[in-house]
Structure 1
Amino acid sequence: MNLVNDASSYRNPIIDADVPDPDAIRVGDRFYLVASSFHRAPGLPLWVSDDLVAWERVGYALAGGEPAPWFELPRHGGGVWAPSIRHHDGRFFVVYPDPDQGIFVVTAEDPAGPWSAPHALLRGLGIIDPCPLWDDDGNAYLVHGWAHSRSGRKNVLTVVPVDPQLRHAVGPPVDVIDGDRLEGFTTLEGPKFYQRDGRYWIFAPAGGVATGWQTVFRADDPFGPYEHRIVLAQGDTPVNGPHQGAWVDDGHGGDWFLHFQDRGVYGRVLHLQPMAWGNDGWPTMGQAAGGGDPQPVIEHAVAFPERGQTRPRVRTLARPDDFADGMPGTHWQWEANPDPRAIVGAGPGLGLRGNPEGDNVRTMPRVLSQPLPGMPSTSDVDIALESVGAGSRAGIAVLGEAYLWAGVRSTDDGFEAVVAVRHPGDVTEGVIATSPLSEPQAHVRVQVDADAGVRVVVTARDTVIIDTDPVFRARPGRWVGASLSLFAAGPRTVETVGRFAHFSIDVRD
């Protein structure tokens, strides 16, 4: 695992892996961050940091998608979209949208949980990207955007008065900003609501996920009228579409902005920008916070040099796993709601019960995934088949809208190592390579280069039996980057079990 050791400065992205649609807050001397989880479960991943640079996952705020029967299968592009996190009256609130249902709220006294069951605050199609605000007068409001795919409208931000416990609306919704009336604005979404010096502030991105910018709006009343200023854009940097995130004060006189950059197959990676408030009352971000242009910094001094390196700065999310007690670590997520029958027995290694029927890994629910690192990586895992019959298989996949998998499968003639790929629209998988096995087990190494090209090396009894060139290039999923995924599958008539051990991952930062 590659660590960044210089404690006096940081390099963007601070997490070079999929952290979609981040939002963050400070409570006391600690910082808390939440991100979208879309179709994966558990959902709403939460991180904690002491210095805004090194983040440690502390858990999840959502066990799985609701209604549970709907999310028993992967619902790519659905589920949990951009959430917000706030702390009010001694409790943490995470407010999240499901674009097919509405806005939901979960609460906890501790980010590590337990979290409450989801409560529906607003029902409706295409209501997305919510953020609450409790103002200085004791009133509560919710700002949100719209998804055209579900509601028929977009590029609009709406404010709804709500009760302080975020249980229900207490007044009618009001459209407060219409992006169609702003020159050049498209896809205005992802708002975050704040109050500062008596004014109401909405931080919101526009221009699209991969190509957009960050805008700040301000008004003397929560319902407007709002004036605006663009405060962060790509400029002449390599950071495309820098936007959508959170303003955080560090408690020591400093201000910061956490946001994402869409890196395609690697997902929406996390950046940290310095921020300052100008004499004209508007915020400046990135290089502009130091007097330069309003574009991202690539390297910058840390907020808390006196704290040193309180946590190892690992710039990825994927982690090794020995599957202690036969269970996956918390850094894995399922591609659908967890199936209580999916994990078989206690060690050694992780036993996964096979997905019945079907040959498309993308549609399988019993699949465990970690985000693909945003830099070259090498993953290793031991794979074995148990309780096999013809057609059983187990493997590791680089999974997106297209995928490659490598592992072990059984045939009418015995066992073989296999590497196969599937692209969108393919009726069946295409086999790249096979090699016979005397027993149903092998060691698989997956190497992903800087251009997301995938090379596979399969070893049996310490002998290399398959070594592919990077003939497959990983692709992102639906609103998510590609993942490293473990799975097993087989016919309904066979109780297939895949056994995984000694998963490791190394990155070249």
Structure 2
Amino acid sequence: MNSNLGKQSMAIWSPDLGNGYYQNPIIHADYSDPDVIRVGEDFFMVASSFNMSPCLPVLHSKDLVNWTIINHVFEKLPFSYYDEPRQSEGVWAPSIRYHKGQFWVFFATPDDGIFMSKTNNPFGTWSSLHLVKKTKGWIDPCPFWDEDGQAYLVHAFAKSRIGFKSVLHICKMKPDGTELLDEGTLVFDGNAHHPTIEGPKLYKRNGFYYIVAPAGGVTDGWQTILRSKNVYGPYEDKIVLAQGSTAINGPHQGAWVELKSGESWFIHFQDKGAYGRITHLQPMSWEDDWPLIGSNINANGVGEPVMSWKKPLDVLTTPTVPQTSDDFSGDRLGLQWQWRANVKREWYSLLDNKLRLFSRNRTEGVTTLFNTGQIVTQKFPAFVFTATTSVSFHPHDEDDVTGLIVFGHDYAGLKIRRGCAAISISFFNGYYNGEKAEEDETLIKQIEAEALYLRVEVKEHAICQFSYSVDQIGFQEIGSPFQANSGGWSGAQLGIFCLNEGVRTSSGYADFDWFYISENEKGDVDGNI
């Protein structure tokens, strides 16, 4: 076992500077469309999971800076077509709220409707998904309970499904969150000044209803605040956070969090290409019942993102980041791992401190890794890093393969299969053109070894170099450097896999002893460029 696995690799990226200050991003990983609430002394975050399963991650923090993954709301989407990867579909932009002793999560899939789940313990079991409204193209729902007990739901629209966007609706909702009571009222049209307004979150403060919503698109947009004395408007609008002179593009879609002291903070994401939509924390203040987010550098009332600031809370917390390295010693797969489609229990097992991936056949007609579900992945955790894994391959059929992959619309990796007298190792590339994927594979050499160590070094700007070793000491580079990219709405992912590329049933398998994330031997760990 790798002796480094017990260490948290804080040198890779740590938001906590250890001196009472933090640096952005607070999570240098793809937790897209974050929503956050405070309940007592605890903070909880949810994020989009799209086509991945288990679905809809829940993260926890004591100080808004140091976060860990604590759960997923549900294991898989209740539709058979998600048994195959449906890139960028699935769970979009969830919201989380605390009401009457319950944690509530609402989300939409672009083609199926709006769903709800709740629990009294976010660390434990969440209720089965409830379909609040079967619809197509209604997205980004957020619930709100007013002082009189009336419940509402604000949401946006996806033009790709319904033919229009840039408008927000509010619906009346049953107080138990199970059903919408009307088809909604148009409360804001952003087509003229806030195109692609979406991701709305509804709050109330000092008699004003506030809708916090990004506009302008994920890479070049801004954060808008809408304000009204009536839940249905009319709403005034104001841009309160924009990129300005900073390197933080977007800044997009987030959550207002109020501390016990009344102090306000704002969490949003920045689209960083291959690294995904990484999470930032901004100070937030109020003036004339309008919020100012970030730093008002130009004194024009529009904040700009900060790169470092005093921590929200001076509490004793161990600096931490969402989980990465894994020694597979638990009785369940680490929460950092997700599959590219609805998970099947037959794909893997955990035993003897190993993750065993079985050489199961792919879905009939699937011929590329792009369309393969049984690839278990985790997010890029930093600007530069190295990922290494130990694998022992036990093929039963000549079509059994295992390996390491970096996944996006383009993807690459190392593939191991049985050769004539030993095992062979190949380098492969895959390319997705928006309609189909194509792959090429180059045999590198045959190796006589019971176990191999596979590695990818991710350098600045997501340039990836693969290598392998038979002794975990000397690593031999394989293939040309690969430029990782995003996979639609998701950032690039690290993955391991085992499958049978043929049609015969195989009893083969691959045992992964550990998966370790470390800092590069050489390289800049500053991702703020």
TM-score range relative to shorter protein: over 0.9
Q: Does 1:476 align with 2:486?
A: yes
Q: Does 1:352 align with 2:357?
A: yes
Contact 2:411 2:484 in 1 (8 A): yes
Paired residue secondary structure (1:471):
strand
> Which amino acid is the alignment partner of residue 292 of structure 2?
T
Judged with a 3 Å threshold, the aligned counterparts in structure 2 of structure 1 residues 465 and 198 are, in CA distance, closer, same or farther, namely closer
Contact 1:22 1:36 in 2 (8 A): yes
Q: Does 1:107 align with 2:118?
A: yes
Paired residue secondary structure (2:160):
helix
Contact 1:61 1:113 in 2 (8 A): no
- Show the 5 A alignment for 1:308-319: 308=316, 310-314=317-321, 317=322, 319=324
Q: Does 1:251 align with 2:260?
A: yes
Contact 1:419 1:431 in 2 (8 A): yes
> Which amino acid is the alignment partner of residue 114 of structure 2?
I
Contact 1:355 1:365 in 2 (8 A): no
CA displacement at 1:97 relative to structure 2: 0.5
The equivalent position to 2:458 in structure 1, one of 448, 455, 470, is 448
Contact 1:326 1:347 in 2 (8 A): no
Distance in 2 (CA, whole Å) between partners of 1:258 and 1:428 is: 38
Contact 1:417 1:442 in 2 (8 A): no
Most deviating of 326-335 and 88-97: 326-335
Normalised by the length of structure 2, the TM-score is: 0.91
Distance in 2 (CA, whole Å) between partners of 1:224 and 1:327 is: 48
The equivalent position to 1:394 in structure 2, one of 402, 408, 416, is 402
Match of 2:412 in 1: 404
Match of 1:431 in 2: 441
Contact 1:324 1:349 in 2 (8 A): yes
Distance in 1 (CA, whole Å) between partners of 2:295 and 2:26 is: 17
The equivalent position to 2:63 in structure 1, one of 51, 71, 74, is 51
Contact 1:40 1:334 in 2 (8 A): yes
Distance in 2 (CA, whole Å) between partners of 1:303 and 1:326 is: 35
The equivalent position to 2:219 in structure 1, one of 203, 210, 225, is 210
Judged with a 3 Å threshold, the aligned counterparts in structure 2 of structure 1 residues 19 and 463 are, in CA distance, closer, same or farther, namely closer
Match of 1:82 in 2: 93
Contact 2:419 2:446 in 1 (8 A): no
> Which amino acid is the alignment partner of residue 415 of structure 1?
I
Distance in 2 (CA, whole Å) between partners of 1:428 and 1:461 is: 33
Judged with a 3 Å threshold, the aligned counterparts in structure 2 of structure 1 residues 410 and 440 are, in CA distance, closer, same or farther, namely farther
Match of 2:170 in 1: 159
Contact 1:333 1:368 in 2 (8 A): yes
The equivalent position to 1:485 in structure 2, one of 469, 489, 495, is 495
| Unaligned ranges ≥5, structure 1 | none
Judged with a 3 Å threshold, the aligned counterparts in structure 2 of structure 1 residues 438 and 219 are, in CA distance, closer, same or farther, namely same
Match of 1:18 in 2: 30
Match of 2:127 in 1: 116
- Paired residues in the alignment total 501
> Which amino acid is the alignment partner of residue 446 of structure 1?
V
Partner deviation per Cα, 1:188-245 (whole Å, 9 max, x = no partner)? 1000001111221100000001111000001111111111100000000000000211
Q: Does 1:140 align with 2:151?
A: yes
Distance in 2 (CA, whole Å) between partners of 1:262 and 1:419 is: 29
> Which amino acid is the alignment partner of residue 319 of structure 1?
T
The equivalent position to 1:385 in structure 2, one of 387, 393, 402, is 393
Normalised by the length of structure 1, the TM-score is: 0.94
> Which amino acid is the alignment partner of residue 390 of structure 1?
E
Match of 2:52 in 1: 40
Contact 2:68 2:323 in 1 (8 A): no
Paired residue secondary structure (1:356):
coil
Paired residue secondary structure (1:48):
strand
Distance in 1 (CA, whole Å) between partners of 2:273 and 2:401 is: 29
Distance in 2 (CA, whole Å) between partners of 1:453 and 1:32 is: 33
- Show the 5 A alignment for 1:202-241: 202-241=211-250
Most deviating of 87-96 and 387-396: 387-396
**CA-atom RMSD, angstroms?**
2.0
Paired residue secondary structure (1:322):
coil
